[in-house]
Amino acid sequence: MTRRLLLGCSAVGNALAERTREGRGDLVAITDDTGWASTLRDRNVATVEADPTDPATYPDSAAIVLVASDDAARNVAAARAARERYPDAMVVAYLGTAPTDEQRAASEAVADRVVDPVEAVTDRVCEAIGLDGGADDAGGAGGSGDAGDLAPSLAGDRSQTPDDEKPARLLAALRALSGPLLVVAHDNPDPDAIASALGLARIAESIGVDADACYGGEIAHQENRAMVNLLDIGLRPFDEIDLDAYGGVALVDHSRAGINDSLPEGHPVDVVIDHHPPRGPVAGSFVDIRPAVGATSTLISEYLSRFGIVPDRDLATALLYGIRIDTKDFTRATAIDDFEAAAALLAHADESTLERVESPSVSPETLRVLAAAIENRDVRGSVAASCVGEIADRDTLAQAAERLLDLEDVTVTFVYGYMDGVIYGSARARGADLDAGELLRDALDPVGSAGGHAAMAGAQVPLGILSEVSESESLSDVVEAFVAGRFFEALDDAPAQPTGLPPEFPTD
């Protein structure tokens, strides 16, 4: 299969051919310019000397197509031919020399990304002299960028899995939908899930696919509520959704329908983008799961960049906050990709709004749960577990687990309580030798559901018959005896922190 196809050539096309010739996959060039054909062959690029606007000369398949001659009219013709020949490919069109407004509009109508040499040079000059020369619009399909930004898309980059055409495959999956896309965040979404859902909906809309982002449960954490209130967060509650109205479903920040979301278990899924290690096979037409990355917002930010979509202020702020929260301000499970995504988002985010999101008022319930967690703590070695009894807001458990890590000599914490017939628990680890996610799985997955990362994990267990206590018993005491017994028993044979990435599960 031809992965990358270069139609026409110029100084821009030649430079990109030079950058991509050592990348993974094949590059094929088609140009009727004898001089450029000779130059490309000298660079060991497979070159066909033919009309780049004639689809009869094209290979059978291509994942990424770059249109790159200096002739604006021929670039339009080549872009149209490429889109018709390869409807699922990612098409990047260089405008060429002195394009007219009509030629620009024609290129934007068929290409996923358009490169405008004038805007690219202007932006570089403005950047060099300290002026804001960035584009004001949100870009997208037909959004402009410069040739240097496109080289990683063609050459592949270290953050991609061995299949380095994920951007093109994501667009193909979105275009294949029979109707609007429903982007589903996990229940009681955190900032990473919220921002990722909004970002993926923005990507879909950039290619003309209508999209709605939704969530189940509640947005209860005070910082999450502040984020939704201060930013233009357009997430819909799941109970307002008619699933039959959508042509496809995408999951962000989790990977299986019906597991920690409000979808029916086993509901068909088209797109999955997540950074959590999967607990089983993940189904979807397009699946991108990268446990080495600290936040799903990082992956969404990468796709926005690869498609030339400049996020507006609210989306950039949300994505940046999602990265900061999931990496605990870049001190937990952080990859180079997270730093790079955050640096790129910072130019578009509103720092004053971010400060207001990060410093919300603390609810009385949060303070009550934290006080109960401290008072009821059971410390064994470097591990502290605490039952806080009945709760009104499950997000308070995560906050309490984070704060208990500040106790001297404590490296693992587990705080749990119950509400609405379910026991909820949240674990945190810092500088520990064990894996918190595997610890909770061993302890509570057999009786409920549990999982997460080595440093951050959660669990849910139905109360069931535990709720049928006698008059002489306290439900809180019964819950504590049950959960603490399983937790500390699992702790005696706790799994160590992983030294590499978890094994990949097959996708279908």
Whole-number Å distance between alpha carbons of 190 and 453: 15
Q: How much is the pLDDT for 494?
A: 60
Whole-model pTM? 0.59
3-class DSSP state of 288:
strand
- SS3 state of residue 264: coil
Residue 77 has a CB neighbour count (10 Å cut-off) of: 19
For residue 393, give both structure tokens.
């807001």
Rounded-to-integer distance, Cα 92 and Cα 110, Å: 9
Q: State whether residue 417 is helix, strand or coil.
A: strand
* Structural domains of the chain in order of their starting residue, each with its CATH number: 4-155 (3.40.50.720), 166-358 (3.90.1640.10), 364-491 (3.10.310.30)
User: CA-CA distance, 407 to 193, in Å (whole number)?
Assistant: 29
Q: How would you classify residue 190: left for phi > 0, otherwise alpha for psi between -120 and 50, otherwise beta?
A: beta
Per-residue pLDDT 10s for the chain (508 aa) are 557 899 999 888 887 777 665 554 578 999 999 888 888 888 788 899 999 999 999 999 888 899 999 999 999 999 999 999 999 888 999 988 888 989 999 999 999 888 887 666 555 555 544 454 443 333 334 444 444 444 333 333 333 334 457 888 899 999 999 999 999 999 888 899 999 999 999 999 999 999 999 998 878 677 777 788 778 788 899 989 999 999 999 999 999 998 888 899 889 999 999 998 887 788 899 999 999 999 999 999 999 998 889 999 999 999 999 999 898 888 877 899 999 999 999 989 988 888 777 665 567 888 899 999 999 999 999 999 999 999 998 888 988 998 899 898 999 999 999 999 999 999 998 877 888 888 999 999 899 988 877 778 889 999 987 877 766 678 999 999 999 999 999 988 765 554 444 444 444 3
Residue 106 host element (H or E): helix 101-110
- In angstroms, the CA 308 to CA 172 distance is 17
Task: Find out whether 322 and 354 touch, Cβ atoms under 8 Å.
Answer: no
Report the C-alpha gap between 297 and 322 in whole angstroms: 6
**CB 201 within 8 Å of CB 232:** no
If residue 325 lies in a helix (H) or strand (E), which one and from where to where?
A: helix 313-326
Which pLDDT does position 485 carry in this prediction? 93
Predicted pLDDT of residue 468? 78
